[in-house]
Each structure stands twice: as C-alpha cells, then as structure tokens.
Amino acid sequence: MSHAFIFPGQGSQFTGMGKALYDSNPKAKEMMEAANEILAFRITDIMFEGSEEALKQTNVTQPAIFIHSVVAFECLATDQPAMVAGHSLGEFSALVANKVLTFEDALRLVSVRAEAMQKACLSQPSTMAAVLALADEKVEEICTQIQEQSGEVVVPANYNCPGQLVISGSLKGIELACVAMKEAGAKRALVLPVGGAFHSPLMQPAREELKAKIEATTFHTPSCPVYQNVVAQAVSDKETIQQNLIAQLTGAVRWTQSLQAMVTDGATHFTEAGPGKVLQGLVQKIHKDAVVAGIS
C-alpha cells in the first residue's frame, strides 16, 4: 500500500474552518498564532467567525486554506506520505508536507501569490468556466480555434476529472467558448463566480511577482515525490520543483493526469488534508478503486 496525501485549493473554505483544531490541539494553536504574526493580521478571526464574503477575498482565502491544510496534516496525520500533490494553491501545502518548504516560508509565498493574483485580476477583467461532459481533446481544440479566430485568450485551466475541465480567459473569450462548447455537445458550459482567469497567460504579471519571491526562498530536498500540477508526474529535484511552481500560475492544473500518474506509481490510499471533501470526490471519479479519506 502506498499512501498519498493531497491538498485542496481555492473554493474549499468555510466559516469555522480550523476552529476545533485550534481549540483542542496546542500545536495547532501555536502554528495558527505564528501564521497571524507572519501575515500581520488575525486571519484566524476570519477563519473562525468571518462571513462567507470575507472568506472569499483572495488575500484571505488562499492563506486560510493553506494554514488549515498544513495544520491538519501536521497535527492529525498518522502516516508519513509516500507521495504528495496539491490542487493549485494546494501545491504549496504539499511542499510543506514533503519538507521542501517550511511552513513559515510557504505561508509568505502564499500571501504574495494571493496579493499578486488579486492585482492581476483587477488590472484585466477575466473569468473562468466549467465545461461538463465533453472530451478534453475537444475542449482543447475549441479553445485553440477561438484564440486563432478572435485573438481572445481562452485556455484549458483545470483538468479536474474526466468530463470536468475548467477553462480560463478573457470575458469575451470565455463567452465565445461557452457557446461553442455547448454547440459541440457539452452538457453544460457554466461561467464560474471567480475574480479572474487563473492558470492562464493573463496571470503573467502575478507570475513575475511570485517568481522573484520563489527564487529568493530556500527549497529543500523532498522527503517524498510531489506530483506537480504543470507536469503531472513525480518530481524529486528541488530546483525542478521550484521552476514548476513558478510555471503553475500561468499553466494548467493537470489534476486528472496527476492522480492517474500517482495510481500508476502505486498509490492505493489517498488522504485529503484540509477543509472540505472536493478532492476526495475527484479521486473517486478518476480511480474508483482508490481508498479515500479526509483529515481536517
């Protein structure tokens, strides 16, 4: 049996996240208070009691999910991972779990990432859409055609599971793509309530800002392989991990392919560490025989 730990990304937050851990576990409380110090505001107050709207702010959402995920892993995991992966933001949590980054350094990077993405969203209106029940190849083909014909940005962004691919791009590009996807037989092509075109070329300004911080951060030799979003395969070289993490902001999250690679490499048990159960559901859609669980 190979035990894989997986870590969620943006969208899994909820009011009250992490409070039971904070109240019951001294180590969890210590880590969360350290996070408040690093961020220079009491993010725990928003996590425990904030409104849904307050938790949706990117500069809160991303560090909140990261903190909850890493604290859950550090305080509740009873096994050491044989391999790790994280969905988008979750890759930073995964890199703490396999000892590539310290909790403190990763939190600083997540904070920079969130602020930089927020700025990129404000500078150029853009969005994302979920395409359901259409082959990945067809979605890719339509995105390419629209870009060539209209000059608008629209690209595959999140390969979540077979039959669920999220696209990302300019407002016009996504509008054109949604019409074309439905005409091609998609069950749905639904614009998502997000602030911008994550994992697309429109995140280039954020990528440049984050790149400088990542390159100034110490990366350590991993304790186990990480299956990174942009390559969807095991990576154990710390310099390669660093470069893939930089590429992630403008590259696609190849989650389906990452999970398939983990199964091929022997993963039989998957534990999601962090808020929610989104990844557990995706694992079951990608590999129905996998044993899945969650800690939070």
Annotated catalytic residue within 69, 199, 287, 296? 199
Catalytic annotation present for 199: yes
Alpha-carbon distance values, 87 to 26, 248, 278 (Å): 28, 10, 10
Annotated catalytic residue within 88, 168, 170, 258? 88
Task: Report phi then psi at 126, rounded to 5.
Answer: -160, 170
Residue that has been written with the tokens 């590539």 in this structure: 100
Catalytic annotation present for 87: no
Task: Report phi then psi at 127, rounded to 5.
Answer: -160, -175
Q: Kind and range of the H or E element at 154?
A: strand 154-161
Nearest to 86 by CA among 8, 199, 190, 174: 8
* Displacement of CA 94 from its chain's centroid (Å): 10
Q: Kind and range of the H or E element at 62?
A: helix 58-76
Catalytic residues: 88, 199
